[in-house]
Structure 1
Amino acid sequence: MRDTAARVRTGTNPKPRSADGGDARIHVTLPHLRSFESKARSLSFLPRQPARSVLNGRHASRLRGRGLNFEELRDYLPGDDIRSIDWKVTARTGTPHVRVYTEERDRPTLLVVDQRMSMFFGSVLNMKAVTAAETAALIAYRILGQDDRLGGVVFGDERIAEIRPERSRRALNRFLTALADLNRLLRADAANVAPIPMNQVLRSVARIAPRNHLIVILSDFDEIDDETSRLISGIARRNDLIIGLVTDPFADNMPPNQRLVVSDGVLQAEVNTVDRTQHTSLREMAHGRLAEVLDWQRRYGMPVLPVSAAEETLPQLRRLMGLAPS
């Protein structure tokens, strides 16, 4: 079930302005996303994380960084490092052979960003869609600054934008433009439509990034099922996968005496939280989805980072990376 009251913000903070003068808590613009370029330099999504980083330790073990790729097996030559001798082949052939490796210099990054209607919700500070877009912009600028290839998949209720990984500012601009365009389509008076399923998006991700990519998925993971877990598992086996679980505290602080409208994208129903049974059921549904996604960390050995729409984006990313406040 899609988040309740997805078209209403209840925060009372002063309205921050985006680069073009709009309310940056509700929608992002291309100038606003570009404003994160200088702020991204302090972040890192590669190994050698600080001890406080959630990417450090056992959950980060699959973030390999740049390694070595096998290139050829050849006869031993004077001056070769003895540690590179392949003793099994040497014993089988009777002549010394060495394995030659080259440094892995390229690992493309694919940023997958949810801009469906379930993300058009915020009870404290930002809409979840805004937090996801800002997080993606920060990561995109950091990745391009490391001279790695960058691509993306941005998806809304009715459209998927695919940007193949390239080592160019053109790819970055296409990605940010897709983010701003799809975010702008989120409106309180938008027609109810059946959203693109997460599983369809994950199949596209598996096709674009079959192996050896760094993949970051930013979503609230609305409408997930067993097939979602299977697809996530397959992507994680062949790539380095980081999940950015975008959350809002509304489920924990759900008002007990209100009538709320919930929707699956086609049908709508009213939920009366005065009814304790309905109130409890709605909270348990939200908590169950959260627990399922968090459990992927244990089951598939990948980091799951909770990113809250109730906080400013950059400070919490720095905290998740174990960095000092800026």
Structure 2
Amino acid sequence: MLNQKELESKVRHIQIYSRKAVLEMLAGEYRSSFKGMGIEFEDVRGYQHGDDVRSIDWNVTARIGRPHVKTFMEERELTLYFLVDVSASGEFGSSEMSKKEVMARIVALLAFASVHNHDNVGLILFAGDVEFHLPPRKGKNQVMRMVDHLMRHPTKSKGTNVKAALEYFQQVRRRRCVAFLFSDFLDTGYERTLGDVAHAHDLICVSIRDPRESELPSAGMLEFRDAESGELRTIDCKDGGLRARLTEQSERHQRQLKDLCHEVNAELLDISTDDDYLYEIIQFFRERYTRSADV
């Protein structure tokens, strides 16, 4: 458990690093991936230099004789919501950072990129129930509040309830927006609600995992405590059968999540705590842009 000084240092480091990374690397990728793709059709206007040719309204162009483009609501104002799992399992981390800290860093990167493009960002923190809601606003101070709440929030409820978080989000956000759902998805019973949200919003599931959740160290007998249930167990890490079962179970979980996202038309960004998460985000943005260009 971090003391207050260490926590303040981590929060500040995340804020400084994220703003620097956005300015140097991420802002353009974010804009290409999200801006101008069209969430809600609004109007048409005359073509201007720099407009995306994919947005040209050919019927209006042919009728008027000059190029016109479709305009969408997010050109004026795009809203991003971050639904973040702060359950106890997020405290686990076998390398430099826990799953929770990786989530916080990615949220900060995406949120700073969004405010750099004058968009709104909001935050919902959940565990066994929804525990905190910060309605969407613009500006870097909003992002700093988000990171601060995410890193300092004392989780009150046990377990993970993805369904409850999605249902709450549906209640507070009726209008279509971009929603990032951060979790290790160690939960069940949320599949249908995930599909409902993906139908109504642009939903991106961000799966955060740790390599030790799929591969045990060859370290003999180790004692583990389940972060959410508190159950204490002793296991033999040299047991080949146990190691194989753990790996198979983890791989099956990831396949099921991937299949579910594909089925409901949600996107999936899968990140391990030992990944270069900035690289993974940029690659995701580029692939998203490529898919939209092919439509």
Same fold (TM over 0.5): yes
Give the match's secondary structure for 1:43. helix
Cα drift, residue 158 of structure 1: 7.1
- Show the counterpart of 2:246: 282
1:239 alignment partner, one of 173, 190, 201: 201
Gaps of 5+ in 2: 45-56, 61-69, 288-295
Root-mean-square deviation (Å): 3.6
Quick check: 1:292 aligned with 2:256? yes
Taking structure 1 as reference, are residues 311 and 153 closer, same or farther at Cα in structure 2, changes over 3 Å only? same
Quick check: 1:68 aligned with 2:50? no
Contact 1:143 1:150 in 2 (8 A): yes
List per-residue Cα deviations over 1:128-171 (Å, max 9, x = no partner): 11111000000000001111111111235676211111223443
Contact 1:157 1:196 in 2 (8 A): yes
Which amino acid in 1 is paired with 2:41? L
Could you tell me how far apart the structure 1 residues matched to 2:43 and 2:176 are?
A: 14
- Show the counterpart of 1:166: 137
Could you tell me how far apart the structure 2 residues matched to 1:271 and 1:281 are?
A: 16
Could you tell me how far apart the structure 2 residues matched to 1:122 and 1:132 are?
A: 12
Give the match's secondary structure for 1:162. strand
How many residues end up aligned between the 2 structures?
259
Could you tell me how far apart the structure 2 residues matched to 1:260 and 1:194 are?
A: 21
Contact 1:121 1:128 in 2 (8 A): yes
Quick check: 1:268 aligned with 2:220? no
Give the match's secondary structure for 2:190. helix
Contact 2:112 2:140 in 1 (8 A): no
Could you tell me how far apart the structure 1 residues matched to 2:21 and 2:261 are?
A: 28
Taking structure 1 as reference, are residues 252 and 301 closer, same or farther at Cα in structure 2, changes over 3 Å only? same
Cα drift, residue 308 of structure 1: 1.5
- Show the counterpart of 1:94: none
Quick check: 1:318 aligned with 2:291? no
- Show the counterpart of 1:11: none
Which amino acid in 1 is paired with 2:134? I
Could you tell me how far apart the structure 2 residues matched to 1:236 and 1:48 are?
A: 21
Which amino acid in 2 is paired with 1:287? E
1:210 alignment partner, one of 174, 186, 194: 174
* Higher relative contact order, structure no. (Cα contacts within 8 Å, ≥ 6 residues apart): 1
Gaps of 5+ in 1: 1-6, 8-19, 50-59, 72-80, 85-100
Quick check: 1:259 aligned with 2:222? yes
Quick check: 1:306 aligned with 2:279? no
TM (normalized to structure 2)?
0.73
